[in-house]
A and B are shown apart, each in its own frame.
Chain A
Amino acid sequence: MSAIQARYFDGKSSAARETSLELDAQGVLRVRGEGIDCSWPLAEVRVSDRIGASRRYLDFPDGSKCETADNDGVDRMFAGQVPAASNLLPRLLHRWESGLRYALAAAAITVAAAVAAIFWGIPALAKQVAFALPASTESLLGRDALAALDHFIFKPSRLPPERQEALQKLHAAMLADLTAGRVGGGGYRLELRAGGRAGANAFALPAGIIVMTDELVALSKDDRELEAVLAHEIGHLRQRHILRHVLQDSVTVLLIAVTLGDLTSLTTLAAAAPTLLLQAKFSRDFEREADDFALGHLARRGISPEVFAAILQRMEDNRPDGKDAPDFLSSHPGTRERIERATAKR
C-alpha cells in the first residue's frame, strides 16, 4: 500500500513535521518523518469524517495528530477496518454528498417534506392546538383590535336604532339556533359601524366580535342575505381561524429560521419572501371553510344558497377597483369560484 503524506503535530506545540504514514500487514500504522518515528495499531487511531475536500485528521492516543489532504489515501488505509456503527453514518453521509444525483434527491425530499409540513403538518397541528386552548387566548390577541379599527377606519353606525335592533335580534336568533343545534359557538358579539374606506364589508375579529358595515346593510336586498354573511363570519370565529392563522404563521417562520439558520438577516429576508404567498393560500382555505359553514347554516334554515351567491356577487360588483386579483395571490378565493361553490350546493 502506498504511503500518505501528512503533517504531524504533537499537541504540545504548534511545530509542524512532515511525515509519511504507512500501514503494515499486521494493521499497525507507522508514522515516520523529521525526528519522529512511532507506530500505532490502526484500531486505536481515530479518523475524522470526510467532508468534501476539506482536510482530514488522524488522532493518535497520545494527543498528537496528523493532518492530510489525501482523503482517498486515508479511506484506502481504513477500508480494511470493520466499520464501527459510529463510523457507518459518516461514510453514508459522504457517499450521499458525493453525487449530484443524490444531492438533487435530497433537495426533492427536503422540498417534499417542507411542503408537507407547511401545507398539512403545521395547519393540522395549529388546528389541534387552537381547539385545545381556551377561548380567552383569542381575546388576549384581539383586545385592542376593534378600538384600533374604530380609530383609523370606522365611524359609529348611522343606521336607525330600530334597524340596528332588528339586526341584533337576527344575530341573537342565529346564535340561539347554533346552540340549540349543538353546533356550539355562542357568545359572539355583533358590532355595527359606518365602514368608511372598508366599504360594504363584514369582519370577524378575535375576541368573538363580528363587525358589519352600514354600507353592507344598504347593499343587501333581503335580511336573509345578511344572515348568510353573518353565518360566514361566525364560521371564521367558530373554527378559530384567527388563532390558527397566528399559530401557523409563527411556526412556519420558526421552521424556516431553524433550517436556514446560518444566514445573515438580509438573505433570510430574501428567502422568506415565498412565505407571503403561502399565507394567502392559508387564508383562502379558511375562507372556504367559513363558506361551507355558512352554506350548512342556510341549508338547516331552509334558505337557498342562491341568496349567499347573490350578496357575494353584489359585493364584488360594488368593489371600488372592480377587478379580481389573480387567484393565487388573493386571500379570498375568486368570487366566481365562491359563487359556483354556493350554487353547486343546491
Chain B
Amino acid sequence: MSDVKHYKCTSCGAPINFVPGTDTLVCEYCGASVPVSDLLKEEKNAKSFDWTAYAPEELTATPDKEYVCASCGATLQSFDSQFVTYCPYCGNNVSALEETKGGMSPNLIIPFNIKKEEVKPKIREYLKTKKLLPKSFLKVAMNADVKGVYVPFWLFDCEAEGEISLHGERSVSESFTNDKGETETREKTLHYRLEREGHFELNKLPVDASTHFDNKAMDALEPFNYSQLTDFSDVYFTGYLAEKFNSTPDDEMQRTKRKIQEGITDFFRETERKYSNIRIIEDNTDVKIDNIKYAMLPVYTLNFNYGDSKRQLFMNGQSGKIIGDLPVKKAKAFTWFLGTFTVVLAICSLVSFLI
C-alpha cells in the first residue's frame, strides 16, 4: 500500500480546503487560513506530462491502487478514473501526487473561481429564464448535490498549412420582364468555390480528455479564461474531486481536427465579408501538433433523475456559465404559441382597421 500526503490545518489538524477566487486554503473548523504559496514551497513536484517525450503506449490509465489515510488509517481505493482527493471516512484531503508518477502529472490548472455555495442560486436564476421549463424540474434540480470536479483537458498548440476550398454565396438583385410586360426585380443567389491557401495557428485549443463527460457539454462550457491558467499543484484539488484522463491525444485527434476546421471556417467567415454561408468543401491542410499540455479545468456538476431520465447540469467553475439539456413542458409551449399568435393577429387586425 502507498502512503499519501495530507493537507491539514496546522492549528487544529482538520482538513483545509482551497477557497475559490482567492489564493488561500481555509480550515472549515477553526477558520485558520494558509496561503497557497506556502504549500507550494513544501510539495515535491511529480514529473509532469511532457509532449516531447510522448509515447502513446505509455499513456494508459494507472492501475487501481490502495492507499492508507494517515489521519484515520482507512484504506482508500484509487479508481482508474479519479484521483484520490479526500478520505471519505474522516474527510481529510489527500495528495494526488502518488498517482501522477511516470510523467502523468497535469501541467496546468485553472483553480475554481466560483464558490460551491454560489452554484445553486446561480442555477436557480438560470432556470427561471427558461420559459418552457416545467416548474417541478427546478425543484428537483435544487435538491440535487453539487459536485466540484476538475475535468482533464488536452490543450493543443497546433498549426494547419495548405490549400482549402470553401463554398460561399452572394445575393444579387436581377431585373426581368414579367408576362404583363412590367419590369420586376428578384433576388438570386450566386454560388462560388473559393480557393485559398493559408497558414493557421491555434494556441491551447481545449479538448476534454475524459469519456465520462459529454464532449458537446464540455465544448459548450467554453471559453475558459487562460489568464488564470497556472502551473499545476494538487493544493487546488483540496475540497474537490478530480478526474484523470482516460482518452489520449491520439484518441481525440479527429475531434481536434474538427475544431481546427471550425476555427478556420470562422476565420474565413470573418474575413470574406463579401460572401455568406461559408463552409469548407475540401480541406488539404496538413495539421502539425507543436505542443500538448495536460490541464485540469474546473466544472461544477449536478446529476439527478427527472421522470424516467437522468439529467445533468454543468457550470464552468471559473466563469459561471451554465449549460444543460432541459425538458420542455408541452402545455407551456402551446400557451406561448397561442398567446403570440393571438397578440400578433390582434395587432394585424388593428393595423388593417386603421388602413
Chain A partners chain B: no
**Partner-A contacts on B (CB < 8 A):** none
**Partner-B contacts on A (CB < 8 A):** none
